Amino acid sequence: MQSTVADKTLAPLNGLPVLCHSIQAFLASGCIDRFTIVYRDTAHKKELEAALNQIDLQGIPFDWVIGGDHRQSSVYNALRIQVKTCTHVFIHDSARPLVSAKSIQALHTAVLRDRAAVLAHPVTDTIKRIPNAEQLTQTTLEDLDRSHIWAMETPQAFALPDILKAYQHVHNSGLRVTDDSAAAATIGLNITLVPNNAANLKITTPADLSYATWLLQQ
Protein backbone atom coordinates (compact mmCIF):
# COMPACT_ATOMS: atom_id res chain seq x y z
CA MET A 1 0.00 0.00 0.00
CA GLN A 2 3.09 2.27 -0.25
CA SER A 3 2.55 3.44 3.36
CA THR A 4 -0.70 5.20 2.42
CA VAL A 5 -2.53 3.34 5.22
CA ALA A 6 -1.26 1.51 8.30
CA ASP A 7 -3.59 -1.44 7.76
CA LYS A 8 -5.48 -1.96 4.50
CA THR A 9 -8.20 -4.01 6.23
CA LEU A 10 -9.03 -0.94 8.32
CA ALA A 11 -8.80 1.58 5.48
CA PRO A 12 -12.05 3.47 4.82
CA LEU A 13 -14.04 2.14 1.88
CA ASN A 14 -17.37 3.71 0.97
CA GLY A 15 -17.92 4.82 4.56
CA LEU A 16 -16.81 1.66 6.36
CA PRO A 17 -13.50 -0.07 7.10
CA VAL A 18 -12.56 -2.63 4.44
CA LEU A 19 -12.99 -5.50 6.93
CA CYS A 20 -16.62 -4.61 7.61
CA HIS A 21 -17.68 -5.16 4.01
CA SER A 22 -16.54 -8.80 4.16
CA ILE A 23 -18.25 -9.31 7.52
CA GLN A 24 -21.51 -7.90 6.17
CA ALA A 25 -21.39 -10.22 3.16
CA PHE A 26 -20.99 -13.28 5.39
CA LEU A 27 -23.81 -12.08 7.65
CA ALA A 28 -26.08 -11.53 4.64
CA SER A 29 -25.32 -15.03 3.34
CA GLY A 30 -26.90 -16.70 6.36
CA CYS A 31 -24.17 -19.36 6.25
CA ILE A 32 -22.17 -18.32 9.30
CA ASP A 33 -22.60 -19.28 12.95
CA ARG A 34 -19.37 -17.80 14.29
CA PHE A 35 -16.43 -15.65 13.26
CA THR A 36 -12.75 -15.94 14.10
CA ILE A 37 -10.64 -12.82 13.66
CA VAL A 38 -6.86 -13.06 13.49
CA TYR A 39 -5.06 -10.01 14.90
CA ARG A 40 -1.47 -8.79 15.07
CA ASP A 41 -1.19 -7.48 18.64
CA THR A 42 -3.31 -5.91 21.40
CA ALA A 43 -3.41 -2.51 19.73
CA HIS A 44 -4.47 -4.07 16.44
CA LYS A 45 -7.23 -6.03 18.18
CA LYS A 46 -8.62 -2.82 19.69
CA GLU A 47 -8.64 -1.19 16.25
CA LEU A 48 -10.48 -4.17 14.76
CA GLU A 49 -13.02 -4.15 17.58
CA ALA A 50 -13.65 -0.45 17.00
CA ALA A 51 -14.19 -1.14 13.30
CA LEU A 52 -16.69 -3.92 13.98
CA ASN A 53 -18.64 -1.64 16.32
CA GLN A 54 -19.65 0.32 13.23
CA ILE A 55 -21.91 -2.44 11.89
CA ASP A 56 -24.74 -4.66 13.12
CA LEU A 57 -23.17 -8.01 13.97
CA GLN A 58 -26.58 -9.65 14.49
CA GLY A 59 -25.50 -11.29 17.73
CA ILE A 60 -23.03 -13.62 15.98
CA PRO A 61 -20.19 -14.56 18.38
CA PHE A 62 -16.59 -13.68 17.60
CA ASP A 63 -13.42 -15.48 18.62
CA TRP A 64 -10.02 -13.79 18.54
CA VAL A 65 -6.62 -15.34 17.95
CA ILE A 66 -3.19 -13.80 17.51
CA GLY A 67 -1.60 -14.36 14.12
CA GLY A 68 1.76 -15.78 13.12
CA ASP A 69 4.71 -14.62 11.05
CA HIS A 70 3.07 -15.74 7.81
CA ARG A 71 -0.46 -16.17 6.50
CA GLN A 72 -0.27 -19.95 6.87
CA SER A 73 0.66 -19.65 10.54
CA SER A 74 -2.24 -17.28 11.15
CA VAL A 75 -4.69 -19.66 9.50
CA TYR A 76 -3.32 -22.60 11.47
CA ASN A 77 -3.72 -20.67 14.72
CA ALA A 78 -7.34 -19.89 13.84
CA LEU A 79 -8.17 -23.47 12.89
CA ARG A 80 -6.82 -24.82 16.16
CA ILE A 81 -9.18 -22.76 18.35
CA GLN A 82 -12.45 -23.69 16.66
CA VAL A 83 -15.24 -24.82 18.98
CA LYS A 84 -16.06 -28.53 19.18
CA THR A 85 -19.35 -28.06 17.35
CA CYS A 86 -17.63 -26.56 14.28
CA THR A 87 -17.79 -28.85 11.25
CA HIS A 88 -16.86 -26.58 8.33
CA VAL A 89 -14.89 -23.35 7.95
CA PHE A 90 -14.63 -20.50 5.47
CA ILE A 91 -11.15 -18.96 5.27
CA HIS A 92 -11.24 -15.43 3.88
CA ASP A 93 -8.73 -12.65 3.28
CA SER A 94 -10.39 -9.58 4.74
CA ALA A 95 -8.63 -7.52 2.08
CA ARG A 96 -11.28 -8.86 -0.33
CA PRO A 97 -14.21 -6.63 0.66
CA LEU A 98 -16.34 -7.16 -2.45
CA VAL A 99 -17.17 -10.84 -1.95
CA SER A 100 -20.90 -11.31 -2.40
CA ALA A 101 -23.39 -13.15 -0.21
CA LYS A 102 -24.48 -15.10 -3.30
CA SER A 103 -20.92 -16.35 -3.89
CA ILE A 104 -20.62 -17.39 -0.23
CA GLN A 105 -23.90 -19.30 -0.50
CA ALA A 106 -22.69 -21.13 -3.61
CA LEU A 107 -19.47 -22.04 -1.82
CA HIS A 108 -21.45 -23.23 1.20
CA THR A 109 -23.48 -25.61 -0.95
CA ALA A 110 -20.32 -26.98 -2.56
CA VAL A 111 -18.38 -27.53 0.67
CA LEU A 112 -21.25 -29.36 2.35
CA ARG A 113 -21.37 -31.69 -0.65
CA ASP A 114 -17.66 -32.09 -1.46
CA ARG A 115 -15.81 -31.16 1.78
CA ALA A 116 -13.42 -28.74 0.00
CA ALA A 117 -14.36 -25.87 -2.29
CA VAL A 118 -12.86 -22.55 -3.37
CA LEU A 119 -14.04 -19.49 -5.22
CA ALA A 120 -12.06 -19.07 -8.42
CA HIS A 121 -12.23 -17.58 -11.88
CA PRO A 122 -10.77 -18.74 -15.19
CA VAL A 123 -7.72 -16.86 -16.41
CA THR A 124 -8.49 -14.94 -19.60
CA ASP A 125 -5.05 -13.46 -20.32
CA THR A 126 -2.48 -15.26 -22.44
CA ILE A 127 -0.14 -16.90 -19.92
CA LYS A 128 3.58 -17.45 -20.51
CA ARG A 129 6.15 -19.23 -18.35
CA ILE A 130 9.80 -18.21 -18.28
CA PRO A 131 12.69 -20.47 -17.26
CA ASN A 132 14.30 -17.94 -14.88
CA ALA A 133 12.14 -15.56 -12.85
CA GLU A 134 15.02 -13.06 -12.57
CA GLN A 135 15.79 -12.90 -16.29
CA LEU A 136 13.26 -10.74 -18.14
CA THR A 137 15.33 -9.72 -21.16
CA GLN A 138 15.97 -12.00 -24.12
CA THR A 139 14.23 -14.89 -22.40
CA THR A 140 12.31 -17.87 -23.68
CA LEU A 141 8.51 -17.77 -23.41
CA GLU A 142 6.58 -20.99 -22.98
CA ASP A 143 2.87 -20.93 -23.80
CA LEU A 144 0.53 -22.39 -21.18
CA ASP A 145 -2.95 -23.62 -22.02
CA ARG A 146 -5.15 -21.09 -20.22
CA SER A 147 -8.19 -23.37 -20.47
CA HIS A 148 -6.58 -25.34 -17.63
CA ILE A 149 -5.61 -22.31 -15.51
CA TRP A 150 -7.77 -20.81 -12.79
CA ALA A 151 -7.02 -17.93 -10.42
CA MET A 152 -7.78 -18.73 -6.80
CA GLU A 153 -9.84 -16.37 -4.65
CA THR A 154 -11.18 -16.43 -1.13
CA PRO A 155 -13.23 -17.53 0.70
CA GLN A 156 -11.98 -21.09 0.54
CA ALA A 157 -14.12 -23.56 2.45
CA PHE A 158 -13.37 -26.95 3.99
CA ALA A 159 -14.56 -29.59 6.36
CA LEU A 160 -12.67 -28.61 9.49
CA PRO A 161 -10.99 -31.99 10.20
CA ASP A 162 -9.58 -32.08 6.66
CA ILE A 163 -8.08 -28.60 6.51
CA LEU A 164 -6.81 -28.80 10.08
CA LYS A 165 -5.00 -32.04 9.18
CA ALA A 166 -3.57 -30.33 6.09
CA TYR A 167 -2.24 -27.36 8.05
CA GLN A 168 -0.83 -29.62 10.73
CA HIS A 169 1.09 -31.41 7.96
CA VAL A 170 2.29 -28.10 6.51
CA HIS A 171 3.39 -26.93 9.96
CA ASN A 172 5.12 -30.16 10.98
CA SER A 173 6.88 -30.54 7.63
CA GLY A 174 8.11 -26.95 7.45
CA LEU A 175 6.36 -26.36 4.12
CA ARG A 176 5.42 -22.97 2.66
CA VAL A 177 2.04 -22.48 0.97
CA THR A 178 0.37 -19.36 -0.39
CA ASP A 179 -3.26 -20.37 0.02
CA ASP A 180 -5.48 -22.93 1.69
CA SER A 181 -6.04 -25.07 -1.39
CA ALA A 182 -2.25 -25.49 -1.59
CA ALA A 183 -2.22 -26.68 2.02
CA ALA A 184 -5.02 -29.12 1.20
CA ALA A 185 -3.08 -30.45 -1.79
CA THR A 186 -0.14 -31.43 0.45
CA ILE A 187 -2.25 -34.26 1.88
CA GLY A 188 -3.95 -35.15 -1.39
CA LEU A 189 -7.32 -33.45 -0.90
CA ASN A 190 -9.31 -32.78 -4.07
CA ILE A 191 -10.91 -29.35 -4.43
CA THR A 192 -14.16 -28.24 -6.06
CA LEU A 193 -13.86 -24.98 -7.98
CA VAL A 194 -16.83 -22.66 -7.62
CA PRO A 195 -16.75 -20.22 -10.56
CA ASN A 196 -17.14 -16.62 -9.45
CA ASN A 197 -18.05 -14.05 -12.06
CA ALA A 198 -18.63 -11.24 -9.54
CA ALA A 199 -15.94 -8.73 -8.66
CA ASN A 200 -13.85 -10.05 -5.76
CA LEU A 201 -10.94 -7.63 -5.84
CA LYS A 202 -8.09 -8.04 -3.37
CA ILE A 203 -6.94 -4.67 -2.02
CA THR A 204 -3.22 -4.57 -2.75
CA THR A 205 -2.39 -1.04 -3.94
CA PRO A 206 -3.82 2.44 -3.19
CA ALA A 207 -5.49 2.41 -6.60
CA ASP A 208 -7.41 -0.71 -5.60
CA LEU A 209 -9.23 1.26 -2.90
CA SER A 210 -10.44 3.77 -5.45
CA TYR A 211 -11.49 1.02 -7.83
CA ALA A 212 -13.31 -0.88 -5.07
CA THR A 213 -15.16 2.31 -4.10
CA TRP A 214 -16.26 2.74 -7.70
CA LEU A 215 -17.44 -0.89 -7.91
CA LEU A 216 -19.47 -0.56 -4.71
CA GLN A 217 -21.21 2.52 -6.07
CA GLN A 218 -22.35 0.88 -9.30
DSSP 8-class letter at 199: -
17: domain range?
A: 8-216
CATH number reported for the structural domain that contains residue 119 in this entry: 3.90.550.10
pLDDT at 1: 46
In a domain, 169, yes or no: yes
Percent of the chain with pLDDT over 70: 97
In a domain, 19, yes or no: yes
28-46 pLDDT per residue, tens: 999 999 999 999 999 999 9
Tell me if 192 sits within 8 A of 116, measured CB to CB: yes
In a domain, 3, yes or no: no
Mean per-residue pLDDT of the chain: 95
pLDDT at 7: 84
Which of 196, 200, 202, 165 is CA-nearest to residue 180? 165
Q: How many domains does the chain have?
A: 1
142-152 pLDDT per residue, tens: 999 999 999 99
Report the predicted TM-score, pTM, of the whole model to 2 decimal places: 0.93
